Structure 1
Amino acid sequence: MLIDTWHHIPREARGATLALGNFDGVHIGHAAVLRAAHAARPDLPLAALTFEPHPREHFRPDDPPFRLTLLTAKAAALRAAGARFVFALPFDAAFAALTAEQFVEQVLHKGIGAKHLSCGPDFAFGHRRGGDVAFLQREAEARGMGLSIVPPVQHGGEAVSSTRIRRLLQDGYPDRAAEKLGRPWEIRGTVVHGDKLGRVLGWPTANMWLGRHLEPARGVYAVTVALPDGTEAKGVANVGRRPTLGGDPETRLETYIFDWSGDIYGQEIGVRLVRFLRPDAKFAGLEELKAAIAEDARQAREALG
C-alpha cells in the first residue's frame, strides 16, 4: 500500500517497523536496510518511508534529471524487497522546514507510530539536515523506538550507493550497475508517437522520453522489455538525440522489440538496459543508418543469448 501522508493513516499501517531513506534505485544496500528493520521486529508489519519528490529535486530544481526510480517503480521495488507499506511523504517547503526533532516527534512517533527504525549511517533529516543518526538514536530511544543503523553494503571492493550506480550508467556499464541494484536498471514510461521513420526503415520502435530519469550513456543497448501484458521480450534500444536526423532537443529512448508486433501507444513499458553496445553515432544517410541498426540488432541478440 502506498501512503502519501503521515496524518490519519490507516490503522493497520500504524506501529510498523520502519526503514528510512531516499531509496533512489532501491539497490542491494537499501534492501539491507529493509531486512534490518524486519529482523529487529519480525512481529510487526514492515514499512519504508521515503520522500517525493527527492529532496534534491526540491532544493535544486534546475539540476539535470538524476532519478534511478520514479515513485511508481520505487514503490514496486520496495514492496518486492518486503515492505507492506510505503510512505512517500510530499517533500515541499513546509516539510523541509520541519526541525529534526519535529520530524521524529510529529512524523515518526505521533504520525506513523513507528516502533522500530532502521537507516544507513549517513541518513540526515530535518531543517538544513539538522538531524543525524546520533540525534535519531537519542530521540528515538526517548520515545521508546528502537533503531538499527545498517553499515553500507560492500560490492566489488566499494560501498554500494545510488551515486555510484548513476555514474556506472552514465559511463556505459549497465551490467555493473545491475549487480549493485540486484536487477537490471529499468526506465519505465509511456510509449509516445514518433515520426514513424523506424517503420519506414523496417525497424519500428517504441519511443519514450526519459523525463525525470537519469540520462545514461548515449548509444545503443541490448535490452529486455517489460510489456503491458506482464510478459518480457528482448530487444535493442537507442538512447540519444538522433544526430543523423538533425538532432532532437530532448533525449529519447527508442526500442525495437524482437519478434513482436502490436500497438502499445499510450501504454507503459519498462526498458531494462542489459549491455552497452556502442556510443551514439552520426551516419552519412538512411542506408548507412539502416545497416548499422541491423548490425546493432544482431549484436543485441547475441548479447542476450
Structure 2
Amino acid sequence: MPYIKHQALKIYHHLSDFKKLENAVVTIGTFDGVHFGHRKIVSRLVETANATGGETVILTFFPHPRLIIDPENQELKMINTINEKAAILESLGVNHLIITPFTRDFSNLSPDEYINQVLVDTIGVKHIIVGYDHRFGKDRKGCMEDLINAGKVQGFDVEEIPEQDIHDVAVSSTQIRRALLSGDVALAATYLGYHFSLKGRVIKGDKIGRTIGFPTANIFVEESYKLIPADGIYAVTVDLNEGSFKGMAYIGQRPTINGMTRNIEVNIFDFSQEIYGQDITMTFMEFLRHDVKFTGLEALKVQLQQDKEDTLAFFNKMSN
C-alpha cells in the first residue's frame, strides 16, 4: 500500500512510494514535537503553497539520523511517535508527509545525487524552504549555495529560514526534552503549544493497587523510541473507548514493594471497567510529586489519597 490517507494528509513510508508532483513546496527536517518553532516553518510552507497553487511536502526521517550516524548512542528519545507527528502536521494543513528510512545508503548520497534523485526527480520540487544552516548529502557537504545553484539550473526556488527561527527550533526541542525528563510537563506544554501525551496498550499487572483501593491500568508503550517523562505522580486526562476521564498517572519502579522494572500506570477516577488490551492515551497536565519509597502499603495508601485530592484540586482550579 503506497500511502495511508489521513483525510487531507497522505503518508508515505518510502520515497519510492511517492508520485512526483507538478508543483511541490518542500521542507525537510525531523520536526520532533512539532512545537511553536516548527509551526513557523510549516505555516510558511502552507502559505507558499497556497500562493503558488502547489502542494506541501515534508520530508522527514525514521529512524532519527543521529541513531544511524552514531548507532552506539541510543539515548535519544522522541517527543512524538510517527503517528502523533502525522496527526499534528495534518491539523496544520500539510498535504504530503514522506517518512523515509534514514539508512547508510541514503546518508551516502552525494549532494548532487540528493538534489537530483530525491528533490527533483522523485518529489518534483518547485519551491524549497530550509534553514540557513541546512546541510545534506554525504558527510553533510551540501549547503545552501549548492541548493541555490541547482535551483537555477533545475528550475526551483530556494527560501532560507532566518537564523533566529532555526535557533528557536533547535533550542525548543532540547528544552522540551529536558523539561519532560525532569517531570516539568507544564513547561513542556508551554514550549509545545499542547500537552504531552503517551499512548499505550493496557496490560495485566499484579493488581496490588486494587488491594489498597487504587486500581491502576498498566500501560505498555510499544514505541521504544518514545520519550517517557521523569518518575513520579502526574495529574492526567485519560482517553479510551468509553470516553475521557481524569486520573493520576505513576511512572517508576514501585520502590515500596521493591519493584525491579519501570512501570507506567494510571488510576482512572470514577471508572471500574475491565480494559485489558485496549489502547488508551494519557495527557500529562501537571507534575504532583517525585517517586519515593514508603514504609509499607498502608503509608502508600495514605499518600495516594492525598495525591488524588491534589489531582482533583488541580482540575478544579483549571475549570475555574
Structure 2 Cα separation of the partners of residues 142 and 265 of structure 1: 59
User: Are 2:111 and 2:142, in contact at CA under 8 Å, matched by a contact in 1?
Assistant: yes
Structure 2 Cα separation of the partners of residues 260 and 209 of structure 1: 20
Letter in 2 for 1:35: S
Instruction: Give the gaps of 5 or more residues in structure 2.
Output: 1-9
User: Are 1:160 and 1:180, in contact at CA under 8 Å, matched by a contact in 2?
Assistant: no
Give 2:229's aligned residue. Answer: 216
Give 1:31's aligned residue. Answer: 39
Structure 1 Cα separation of the partners of residues 153 and 107 of structure 2: 23
Letter in 1 for 2:227: L
Q: Deviations over 1:11-67 (max 9, x none)?
A: 6x6632122110111111111111111212212222221101111222334422511
Give 1:238's aligned residue. Answer: 250
Choose 196-205 or 295-304, whichever is displaced more: 196-205
Q: Are 1:51 and 2:64 counterparts? A: no
Instruction: Give the gaps of 5 or more residues in structure 1.
Output: none
Give 1:264's aligned residue. Answer: 275
How far off is 1:95 after superposition?
A: 1.4
Q: Which secondary structure state, in structure 2, belongs to the residue aligned with residue 294 of structure 1?
A: helix
Structure 1 Cα separation of the partners of residues 155 and 63 of structure 2: 30
What is the CA RMSD across the aligned residues, in angstroms?
A: 2.4
TM-score by length of structure 2 reads: 0.85
TM-score by length of structure 1 reads: 0.89
Distance 1:137 1:292, change over 3 A: farther
Q: Deviations over 1:54-105 (max 9, x none)?
A: 1122233442251111111111111122212111001122112222222221
User: Are 2:37 and 2:169, in contact at CA under 8 Å, matched by a contact in 1?
Assistant: no
Q: Deviations over 1:204-252 (max 9, x none)?
A: 22222453222322111111223246x4322111111211121333x33
User: Are 1:17 and 1:47, in contact at CA under 8 Å, matched by a contact in 2?
Assistant: yes
Identity of aligned residues (%): 36
- How is 1:114-193 mapped onto 2 (pairs within 5 angstroms)? 114-151=125-162, 152-153=164-165, 160-193=171-204
Letter in 1 for 2:32: D
Q: How many residues align?
A: 301
User: Are 1:4 and 1:89, in contact at CA under 8 Å, matched by a contact in 2?
Assistant: yes
15, 25, 29: which is aligned to 1:6? 15
Structure 1 Cα separation of the partners of residues 111 and 201 of structure 2: 38
How far off is 1:268 after superposition?
A: 2.1
Distance 1:234 1:154, change over 3 A: farther
Distance 1:171 1:41, change over 3 A: same
Letter in 1 for 2:236: V
Q: Deviations over 1:136-169 (max 9, x none)?
A: 33333432222333335599x9975211110111
Give 1:69's aligned residue. Answer: 80
Distance 1:141 1:165, change over 3 A: farther
Structure 1 Cα separation of the partners of residues 209 and 184 of structure 2: 26
Q: Which secondary structure state, in structure 1, belongs to the residue aligned with residue 267 of structure 2?
A: strand
Q: Highest Rg: 1 or 2?
A: 2
User: Are 1:188 and 1:268, in contact at CA under 8 Å, matched by a contact in 2?
Assistant: yes
Higher helix share: 2
Q: Are 1:41 and 2:52 counterparts? A: no
How far off is 1:110 after superposition?
A: 0.6
Give 2:205's aligned residue. Answer: 194
Give 1:17's aligned residue. Answer: 25
User: Are 1:36 and 1:150, in contact at CA under 8 Å, matched by a contact in 2?
Assistant: no
